[in-house]
Amino acid sequence: MKDRQLGEIEQALVDVVRVALTGDTDGVRQLSRRLARRPPIDAAHSDALKEELFALMATAPPGEASLLRGQLVTDEASWVQYPAGVAAPILDPAVQGAVNLVVAEHSLPERLHEFGLAPTRAVLFTGPPGVGKTLTASYIAAELSLPLITLNLASLMSSLMGQTGKNLQEVLARAAEEPCVLFLDEFDALAKSRVDVSDVGEVKRLLNVVLQQLDQWPLGGLLVAATNHPQLLDPAVHRRFDTTIEFALPAFEERLRFLRTSSIAPLRESDNAAQRIVALISDGWSLADLESWANRAARGAVMATDGGPVDIVEAILQAAQKRARSWASQSVQTRAELSRLAADNLGWTHRKIADWLGVSHVTIGKDMKRSGGGIDA
Ligand SMILES: Nc1ncnc2c1ncn2[C@@H]1O[C@H](COP(=O)(O)OP(=O)(O)O)[C@@H](O)[C@H]1O
Ligand SMILES: [Mg+2]
C-alpha cells in the first residue's frame, strides 16, 4: 500500500472516505470546501466539480444541530451558506457596474497584483430595506464560488448580549482563515448602540472586535457590510471601507425588468402593457415591496374563486387601478404626477388616463397643463 503513489484525485477520495467514516460531517464539509477551492490538478473537469460540490453543500441538510441555549450555534451550517446559481439582482446600471467590478477584481486578482494592487477588501452596501443588498451579497459569493459567512449584527446583538464578543470573535477568526465572502448584515446595529449610553461596556467591546477585524481583514478576502442607516456609522467606521455602493429604490425600468422575471408566471408572461402599468403604480416601492404586493393580489384572486378559472393578471391590474385611484385622490399634485407618469411611460391619452383614474378627461387636461405640457387628449 505504502509505496504505491496515489494521484491527487485518489488521495482526495481516500481523505473524504476516511473522514466520512468517522461521522465527522463538519470535517467532510471542510474537505469538500477545500476541494472546491483547489480541485486536484489531475481533475479534468474542475469547474464542473466545483459547481457540483457547491450545489451539494448548498442543499445538504445542516449537520448535528448543536443549538445550546444562549449560545451561538456552533454548527457552522447556521451561518455558512454555499450560494449557487443565484440570478443576478436587478439593479440600476451604475450599481450593477460597481458590483460587477468587485466580482471581476476577485475573479482576476492577478491582473491587479501585476500593478502592485489588491482587490477591494471591504465594501459597504447602503440603501433602504428590500432593494437587494442581502441578495447581492449572496450573488457575489455565488459568482466567486465562495462560501458566504453571514453575521446579522442586529440579531446577534439582541439575542446574545453578554457572550457576543467571544462568539463574534470566533466566527470572524474562522472567516479570516479561508477564502469566503464575510457578510455583516444590519451593520448599523453596532454603531447605533454606540450612541446609546446603556450597555456601553459590552457594545464598545463588540465594536472593537469588528473594527479590529475590518483592519486585519486579509488581503484577497472580501468583506461586505450592509446598512439601511449609513448616517449612523461614524467616520472612523466609514473610513475602513474601500468602497460604498449605494442601492437606491428601483426606477421604472428596474421595476419593469423585475416584473419580467416575476415568480408569478402569468405576470411574468403577460404583455408588456400590463407589466408597465404595474411598474408605474409601484413608484417609490422596493422590489421586495413590489413582489409581496403582487403576491398578495395574486393570492386574493385565487382565493376569491372556488376552483374556477382565475385571471391573475386581471386581478393584479385591478389592484393596480385601485392603488392608482387612491394615489390620485390624495391631492391634485399627486394626480398630476401620476397622469404625467402614465402619459410618459404608458403613452396613454388624457382620456384613457381619466377613465383609469375615474375622473373627467378635462380634469386630467388641466392637471397636465399645470404640471407642464403633455400629450394631446
Ligand atoms: N435588486 C433586486 N433584484 C432582484 N430581487 C430583489 C432585488 N431587491 C429585492 N429583491 C427581492 O426582495 C427580496 C429581499 O431583498 P433583500 O436582498 O433582502 O433586500 P435588502 O437586503 O436590501 O433589505 C429578495 O430576496 C428578492 O426576492
Ligand atoms: Mg438585507
Same domain, yes or no: 56 and 77: no
Check if 83 has its Cβ closer than 6 Å to any atom of ligand 1.
no
Please list, in sequence order, all residues whose beta carbon lies within 8 angstroms of the beta carbon of residue 250, skipping any fewer than 6 positions away.
Answer: 90, 92, 131, 258, 285, 286, 287, 290
pLDDT band, very low/low/confident/very high, at 278 (cuts 50, 70, 90) = very high
- Judge whether 228 lies within some domain: yes
Q: Are 323 and 279 in contact (CB under 8 A)?
A: no
The per-residue pLDDT for 42 is: 84
Check if 89 has its Cβ closer than 6 Å to any atom of ligand 1.
yes
Asked if residue 199 has pLDDT above 70, the reply is no
Compute the radius of gyration of the chain from its Cα atoms.
26
Same domain, yes or no: 232 and 96: yes
**CATH code of 184's domain:** 3.40.50.300
CA torsion, ordered 159, 165, 170, 176, to nearest 10 deg:
110
Residue-wise pLDDT for 336-370, tens only, equals 989 998 998 889 999 999 999 999 989 988 888 87
pLDDT band, very low/low/confident/very high, at 71 (cuts 50, 70, 90) = very low
Helices within 108-224 (DSSP H only): 109-113, 133-143, 153-159, 164-177, 188-195, 200-216
Same domain, yes or no: 220 and 353: no
pLDDT band, very low/low/confident/very high, at 319 (cuts 50, 70, 90) = very high
Residue-wise pLDDT for 362-374, tens only, equals 998 888 887 765 4
Nearest CA to ligand 1 atom 25: 135
Asked which of 196, 220, 246 is the last residue of a domain, the reply is: 246
Q: At what angle do helices 287-304 and 312-328 cross, to 10 degrees?
A: 120
Q: Which ligand is nearest to the CA of 248?
A: 1
Check if 249 has its Cβ closer than 6 Å to any atom of ligand 1.
no
Mutation test residue for ligand 1: of 259, 287, 291, the one with most atoms within 8 Å of CB: 287
Check if 263 has its Cβ closer than 6 Å to any atom of ligand 1.
no
Asked which of 26, 43, 60 is the last residue of a domain, the reply is: 60
Check if 58 has its Cβ closer than 6 Å to any atom of ligand 1.
no
Asked if residue 169 has pLDDT above 80, the reply is no
Asked which of 45, 60, 75 is the last residue of a domain, the reply is: 60
Same domain, yes or no: 53 and 71: no
Check if 129 has its Cβ closer than 6 Å to any atom of ligand 1.
yes
Asked if residue 264 has pLDDT above 80, the reply is yes
Q: How far is the CA of 233 from the centre of ligand 1 (A)?
A: 23
Check if 288 has its Cβ closer than 6 Å to any atom of ligand 1.
yes
Asked if residue 163 has pLDDT above 80, the reply is no
Residue-wise pLDDT for 225-259, tens only, equals 999 998 888 888 888 899 999 999 999 999 999 99
Same domain, yes or no: 46 and 131: no
| 60 vs 95, residue with greater confidence | 95
Residue 19 cell numbers, joined: 473522514
Domain count, the chain: 3
Pairing of strands 222-227, 80-81: unpaired
Asked if residue 40 has pLDDT above 70, the reply is yes
**Cα first-last separation, the chain:** 89
- Judge whether 377 lies within some domain: no
Average pLDDT, the chain: 84
Same domain, yes or no: 34 and 143: no
Scan for cell 467590478, then name that residue. Answer: 101
Check if 254 has its Cβ closer than 6 Å to any atom of ligand 1.
no
pTM of the full structure: 0.78
Same domain, yes or no: 49 and 126: no
Residue 235 host element (H or E): helix 235-238
Same domain, yes or no: 227 and 327: no
| Integer Cα distance of 72 and 66 in angstroms | 9
Nearest CA to ligand 1 atom 18: 134
The per-residue pLDDT for 23 is: 79
Check if 220 has its Cβ closer than 6 Å to any atom of ligand 1.
no
Nearest CA to ligand 1 atom 16: 132
The per-residue pLDDT for 263 is: 92
Asked if residue 102 has pLDDT above 90, the reply is yes
How much is the average pLDDT of 66-83? 51
Same domain, yes or no: 13 and 86: no
* Closest by Cα among 222, 371, 346 to 279: 346
Asked if residue 100 has pLDDT above 90, the reply is yes
Same domain, yes or no: 213 and 278: no
Write the burial class of residue 186 (CB in 10 Å: 0-12 exposed, 13-18 middle, 19+ buried). Answer: buried
| Integer Cα distance of 190 and 186 in angstroms | 8
Length of the chain: 377
Same domain, yes or no: 48 and 80: no
| 105 vs 20, residue with greater confidence | 105
The per-residue pLDDT for 217 is: 83
- Judge whether 376 lies within some domain: no
- Find how far residue 155's CA is from the centre of its chain: 18
Asked if residue 121 has pLDDT above 80, the reply is yes
Mutation test residue for ligand 1: of 100, 124, 126, 131, the one with most atoms within 8 Å of CB: 131
| Integer Cα distance of 141 and 148 in angstroms | 6
| Integer Cα distance of 178 and 180 in angstroms | 6
| Integer Cα distance of 9 and 117 in angstroms | 34
Q: Are 360 and 328 in contact (CB under 8 A)?
A: no
Same domain, yes or no: 74 and 220: yes
Count CA within 13 A, CB hemisphere, residue 245.
Answer: 26
Residue-wise pLDDT for 18-38, tens only, equals 888 887 777 787 788 788 878
Domain boundaries, position 190:
65-246
Q: Are 7 and 40 in contact (CB under 8 A)?
A: yes
